């Protein structure tokens, strides 16, 4: 197997890492990217993260003065991959390292299925343990404050009516339906039953699930559709810009920052935290854990169980403040 060329060394300190050789991208990355996007239906966010993992790994392998490329990918073994994990800990935190390792395992599995690699060199390579971090979420009062932001801006003349109703709809769907931001921007009118208020969502791994949207989100959806939608056909996107084009993930993220600032809430909160809030508020109100797992589209119950720890922490906090013997 031909050995991919090394990236050229830059004589000066660069502001960003050097680009990978085009032939490496074409031969090793592009087919894998097509597989991720077309067959696995991974979100653009996940594909981007896997690209970053691939680029970092290639630069490490082809770094000047270190010969790790003898024999190509097939020659990589336990020693090389352990070295990579050890050195990667100097560049990334543990969670990022785990995400990169996940992307690389998928990369190796793909090329094994194509007959170009004989083994997955990352298989059974130990990674540093992750710290257990509880999901961040907004309280019910904070959510109410956040969701009133578009209306307040509209009343003050700080935003046009289309954007105000569109922004509120985006947040209501994430909170009312527990949608991931990638699922949100991909939502078409044909996937929503307006009578029952249930959306058919295609989530991770092309798994389809039904998401009740709630009466409030459904009411905002109907208002936006009737007053602002240019195209109401089954293939028309729900969230659109004034010109009728589908809203992007980046646009949703920037939009949320605007309303977090308006509400005086932490600016590091992401659209996914609205999904965390959705799950936590359901469990706090007594929803069954298995039901919440189905609503979120989690394949593993352990993923959903993180939210029970959040709920328990909240209960302990209330107990400590309210009980005379606490």
The answer to the question of residue 316 being in a domain is yes
Question: Can you give the pLDDT at residue 228?
Answer: 93
Same domain, 174 and 281: yes
| Start-to-end Cα distance in the chain | 67
Same domain, 178 and 318: yes
The answer to the question of residue 17 being in a domain is no
Same domain, 158 and 272: yes
Give the residue, 61 or 288, on which the prediction is more confident: 61
> Which of 96, 113, 130 is the last residue before a domain boundary?
113
* pLDDT at residue 15 is higher than 60: no
The answer to the question of residue 146 being in a domain is yes
Question: Can you give the pLDDT at residue 2?
Answer: 47
| Alpha carbons within 13 A on the beta-carbon side of 300 | 3
**Residue 43 pLDDT grade (very low, low, confident, very high; cuts 50, 70, 90):** confident
pLDDT digits (tens, 9 = 90+) for 51-79: 999 999 998 888 776 666 556 777 788 88
Range 234-243 burial, b when 16+ CB lie within 10 A, else e: eebbbbbeee
> Which of 113, 130, 150 is the last residue before a domain boundary?
113
The answer to the question of residue 12 being in a domain is no
Same domain, 188 and 313: yes
The one catalytic residue in 152, 204, 209, 258 is: 204
Same domain, 43 and 174: no
Question: Can you give the pLDDT at residue 301?
Answer: 63
The one catalytic residue in 42, 175, 278, 307 is: 307
Q: Mean of the per-residue pLDDT values for the chain?
A: 84
Same domain, 105 and 148: no
* Residue 91 annotated among the catalytic residues of the structure: no
In percent, the amount of the chain with pLDDT more than 70 equals 82
Q: What is the DSSP letter of 323?
A: -
The one catalytic residue in 275, 276, 278, 281 is: 275
The answer to the question of residue 294 being in a domain is yes
Same domain, 174 and 310: yes
The answer to the question of residue 163 being in a domain is yes
Of 33-37, 268-272, 315-319, 321-325, the range with the lowest mean pLDDT is: 315-319
Of 42-46, 87-91, 159-163, the range with the lowest mean pLDDT is: 42-46
Question: Can you give the pLDDT at residue 135?
Answer: 55
Q: Which domain holds residue 199?
A: 140-322
* pLDDT at residue 3 is higher than 70: no
Query: H-type helices in the chain, by residue range?
Result: 22-24, 30-34, 44-61, 78-88, 94-113, 140-147, 149-155, 161-177, 181-186, 215-228, 249-263, 271-284, 289-296, 301-322
* pLDDT at residue 14 is higher than 50: no
Question: Can you give the pLDDT at residue 299?
Answer: 65
Residue 21's Cβ-count burial label (10 Å; 0-12, 13-18, 19+) is middle
In percent, the amount of the chain with pLDDT more than 90 equals 47
Same domain, 173 and 299: yes
Domain containing 293 — which CATH number?
1.10.443.10
* Residue 273 annotated among the catalytic residues of the structure: no
The answer to the question of residue 6 being in a domain is no
Q: pTM of this prediction?
A: 0.61
The answer to the question of residue 256 being in a domain is yes
**Residue 232 pLDDT grade (very low, low, confident, very high; cuts 50, 70, 90):** very high
The one catalytic residue in 180, 273, 276, 281 is: 180
Same domain, 232 and 189: yes
Q: Which two tokens stand for residue 192?
A: 């929503």
Same domain, 145 and 106: no
Rounded to an integer, the average pLDDT of 89-107 is 92
pLDDT digits (tens, 9 = 90+) for 301-319: 666 666 665 555 555 565 5
> Which of 70, 94, 113 is the last residue before a domain boundary?
113
Instruction: Tell me the Ramachandran region of residue 113: left when phi exceeds 0, alpha when psi lies from -120 to 50, beta otherwise.
Output: alpha
Task: Report the number of distinct structural domains present in the chain.
Answer: 2
Cα dihedral 109, 110, 112, 113 in deg (nearest 10): 120
Same domain, 201 and 285: yes
* Residue 307 annotated among the catalytic residues of the structure: yes
Same domain, 271 and 151: yes
Give the residue, 314 or 299, on which the prediction is more confident: 299
Nearest to 275 by CA among 304, 241, 254, 316: 304
The one catalytic residue in 152, 209, 257, 272 is: 272
* pLDDT at residue 204 is higher than 50: yes
* Residue 41 annotated among the catalytic residues of the structure: no
**What CA–CA distance (Å, rounded) separates 3 from 27?**
11
Q: Which residues contact 19 (CB under 8 A, 6 or more apart)?
A: 7
Nearest to 101 by CA among 136, 132, 75, 127: 127
């Amino acid at each position: 197997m031909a050995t991919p060329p090394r990236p050229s060394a830059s004589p000066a300190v660069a502001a960003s890492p050097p680009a990978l050789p085009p032939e490496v991208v074409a031969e090793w990355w592009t087919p894998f990217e097509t597989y991720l996007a077309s067959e696995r239906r991974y979100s653009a966010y996940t594909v981007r993260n896997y690209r970053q993992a691939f680029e970092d790994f290639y630069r490490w392998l082809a770094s000047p003065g270190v010969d790790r490329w003898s024999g190509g990918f097939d020659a990589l073994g336990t020693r090389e991959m352990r070295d990579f994990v050890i050195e990667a800990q100097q560049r990334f935190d543990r969670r990022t390292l785990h995400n990169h390792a996940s992307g690389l395992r998928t990369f190796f599995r793909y090329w094994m299925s194509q007959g170009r690699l004989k083994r997955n060199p990352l298989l059974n390579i130990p990674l540093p343990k992750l710290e257990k971090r509880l999901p961040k979420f907004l309280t019910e009062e904070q959510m109410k404050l956040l969701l009133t932001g578009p209306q307040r801006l509209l009343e003050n003349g700080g935003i046009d009516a289309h954007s105000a109703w569109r922004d509120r709809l985006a947040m209501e769907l994430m909170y009312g339906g527990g949608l991931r931001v990638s699922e949100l921007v991909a939502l078409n009118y044909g996937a929503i039953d307006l009578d029952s208020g249930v959306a058919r969502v295609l989530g991770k791994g092309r798994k389809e699930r039904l998401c009740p949207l709630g009466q409030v989100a459904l009411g905002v959806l109907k208002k936006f559709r009737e007053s602002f939608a240019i195209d109401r056909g089954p293939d028309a996107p729900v969230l659109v810009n004034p010109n009728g084009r589908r809203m992007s993930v980046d646009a949703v993220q920037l939009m949320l920052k605007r309303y977090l600032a308006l509400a005086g809430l932490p600016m590091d909160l992401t659209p996914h935290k609205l999904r965390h809030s959705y799950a936590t508020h359901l469990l706090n109100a007594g929803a069954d854990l298995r039901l919440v797992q189905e609503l979120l589209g989690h394949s593993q119950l352990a993923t959903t169980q993180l939210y029970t720890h959040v709920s328990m922490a909240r209960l302990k906090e209330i107990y400590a403040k309210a009980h005379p013997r606490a």
